[in-house]
A = this chain, B = another copy of it.
């Protein structure tokens, strides 16, 4: 099995045609950014976190994205309500354990979410994935201090415990399920100087999960992030212009763009 540019572009065309609603319960820092990324690729984002409406909102949605970047108890409660409803309805749940390992509270919440809802996709950096699996890993705030491949065992462990596809971002992204590993070698270091790029990867995983099974969706999201990031960096004089060119590229990306740059390898 492999993943071609045509596979990815055909999924993007499905997203553009169907404009699936993606329900996000995410952090304050990146809400604007991930909404713009979802709109640019052709999805329809909604941000809603009131306990009184999250179950109804998720029932209208093609996927649920939860992200604990700026968590607090009432938001976590809403995430759990929404995620349980999503599971009940068979909608994919994508979980971003931002900053797991940095504080006891954050790690505890992340594990509670895993135990309660077994998300279809977990998308984090190496430090977060290792902390989530219980490895001794060092996290500095929300930025990873470990390389992506050092988290491969942790990713496999989380997959075997919760059945989740685990998507570990880094210089090389690794996407793991029980039989396969996808390695995406696209991207650019300047992307780490823009806040919310990891959260965009998570949100786009949600968009792809509306039109593809979780492993393929998670891999396509990372490939698109990397290719679009490389294209955007070419036009950018720094991280400020990178952020906006990234949205422009998502909006107008072509099969040829992906074909020229794609570096993905899937092994069994």
Contact = CB atoms under 8 A, between A and B. Distances in A.
A57 interface: yes
A123 interface: no
Contacts of A140: 19, 21, 44, 60
Nearest to A56: B103
Given A47-B70, A143-B44, A56 B244 contact: no
Contacts of A31: 28-29, 70
A21 B247 contact: no
Given A241-B248, A248-B238, A195 B35 contact: yes
Interface in A8-37: 19, 21, 23, 27-33, 35-36
A136 interface: no
B249 A238 contact: yes
A48 B103 CA distance: 10
B40 A238 contact: yes
A50 B72 contact: yes
Instruction: Determine which residue in A29, A140, A236 has the highest number of CB atoms from chain B within 10 A of its CB, and name it.
Output: A29
A105 B50 contact: yes
Contacts of A142: 44-46
A3 interface: no
Given A240-B245, A240-B246, A246-B240, A32 B106 contact: no
Contacts of A21: 140-141
Given A29-B47, A195-B35, A238 B243 contact: no
A52 interface: yes
A246 B192 CA distance: 17
Given A36-B195, A241-B244, 4 more contacts: A48-B106, A52-B73, A56-B105, A241-B245
11 contacts: A32-B196, A39-B195, A44-B142, A53-B103, A53-B104, A56-B105, A238-B249, A239-B251, A240-B251, A241-B244, A241-B247
